Amino acid sequence: MENKNVTIILVHGAWGDGSHWRHVIENLHNEGYSVRSVQNPLTSLADDIQKTKDLIDMQPGKVLLVGHSYGGAVISGAGHHDKVAGLVYIAAFAPEKGESLGGIFARREQPSGAANIYPDEKGFLWVKYDKFHESFAQDLNKEDSIVMSLSQKPIHGSIFGTEVGEPAWKTKPSWYQVSDKDHMIPPATQKEMAERMNPKKIIHLDASHASLAVRPKEVSELIKEAVAGIS
């Protein structure tokens, strides 16, 4: 099947893991696409880029990287891999060389979700369990939000101060989905990053930060369009 010529690798962001892509995985797999979802440690940007590259290494041919949220910074680094033919950003960071995620946040007033993030004694950042729904996924059903909240995976705070290297979106074709009701990364910031990339396509969804869970059909369609664009 033609869809098998490209492996789609889904890269999760902070406060989640590969299962955040559950519905997208079901959609793509059921239509015959080859799809994998990485499990990153969220311990440092370098660690997460390496873990993603390890999964890329295992694939037989071309790879499309899809990053959600912080995963956008990861695919911007891992995307230099020879097998990577394209990049899709889902409500994601797309930093320029020398930028940090904290610096990108500092450009404008903090989103409402930022007030609900707190560190533990080892420097990992968490979203308050009882504030996860309103911060991350206000349009997701309460049951799924509770599961996301109680199973959240923290991210090390040092990652937000890490300056990134030359991003792969400068040389690889890219696509971007903006979440217009995002409480974690301001929609205006997403739009700025997307337009700066000069992607093949930008789509807007009337969705929270968890667009991959709330609007998996539309997210899957954008991914399929990107696969067609690099096949």
**What is the per-residue pLDDT across 34-46, written as a single tens digit (0 to 9) for each?**
999 999 999 999 9
> Can you give the pLDDT at residue 31?
96
**What is the per-residue pLDDT across 173-195, written as a single tens digit (0 to 9) for each?**
999 999 999 999 999 999 999 99
**What is the per-residue pLDDT across 106-163, written as a single tens digit (0 to 9) for each?**
888 888 888 999 999 999 999 999 999 999 999 999 999 999 999 999 999 999 999 9
Banded model confidence at residue 1, pLDDT cuts 50, 70, 90? very low
**CA 75/CA 70 separation, integer angstroms:** 9
**What is the per-residue pLDDT across 68-83, written as a single tens digit (0 to 9) for each?**
999 999 999 999 999 9
- pTM comes to 0.97
27 CA to centre of own chain: 18
Count CB-CB contacts under 10 A for residue 57: 10
Sequence-distant (6+) residues with CB within 8 A of 74 are 11, 40, 45, 48, 49, 52, 67
Banded model confidence at residue 105, pLDDT cuts 50, 70, 90? confident
Sequence-distant (6+) residues with CB within 8 A of 107 are 189, 192
